[in-house]
Structure 1
Amino acid sequence: MSPQTHQRPSRRGLLALGPGLAATVALRPVAAGAAIRTESTAEAIRRFAGTAEIQPGRIRLDLPPLVENGNAVTITVTVDSPMTPEDHVRRIAVFNDKNPQPNVITVSLGPASGRAAVTTRIRLADTQRITAIAETSDGRYWSTTADAIVTLAACLEG
């Protein structure tokens, strides 16, 4: 092979070099705490709601208070809304305090959605507070929070 030609080593070639080298190039898991969080939960919420006042009420967040495995936690967010063209939910967002990314999910809705409810599964890195915020068609924001105790953390690489 000439100096200008770069050939990527094959997996088989690396394994043939012996277990010492394979252990050297092996990827190590990265704990969720080691991930760099680029913004706080408060900053993510401000990015979602701007300078609008966020009021408690009209929204319910259902998640188990004790989570055995943080890899797949079912949550349901429901907003009290008639979902008419005059009065409906535009967006629902879910935020967390300890995952690498504070904004877990943002869903856009409209009157044709029929119901202001979202069910999904999320990952939780650790015991933490979850916040759900809904934006209504009149430009107001509503919020609620729930705490989850996680016994087996998720958000681990590897």
Structure 2
Amino acid sequence: MKDLNHALEANQVIDIVSKYIDLSVIPYRQDKRSVVRVDTRNPMYGGNGIVYLLQMFDEDELINNRIGCFMVFLNKNDQAGFHNHGPRGEEEVYVVMHGQGEYSDKDGENGEVRTHKIKKGNITGISNDGFHSVQNTSNEPLIIFVITTNMA
């Protein structure tokens, strides 16, 4: 029953996101397709609400990259809490595809927090000792394409 509920929830999220963006991907040497799977984070890094990750690639499908997915915040105040990627040797780029929110970053765990309003078209990046967080601030879904790469 849990798998059935997750499948229904995943399909609902895909339907909602599809109203705002095209969820197609054309992987090298493969046919055009859509979402591979939907991961649910409740909460994500100690944030608020539920964050959905619409995975567009299978594991190990991207050379030298770890993640290429849409991160979806359906509701106002849904949030991915502060986290970093340095210990995993990663850098991360966010491309805002739809909606509005607040992106925060800080240098190190105890650094001063900088907060920026974000909207469609904005791009953020984090690496090394930086920490970052993002939150939906509107009644529209906040949809961000995430690219997480391995450093080096």
**TM-score greater than 0.5 by the shorter chain:** no
TM-score of the pair, normalised by structure 1? 0.29
- Report the structure, 1 or 2, having the larger strand content: 2
- Report the structure, 1 or 2, having the larger helix content: 1
Structure number with bigger Rg: 1
Higher relative contact order (CA 8 A, sep 6+): 1
TM-score of the pair, normalised by structure 2? 0.30
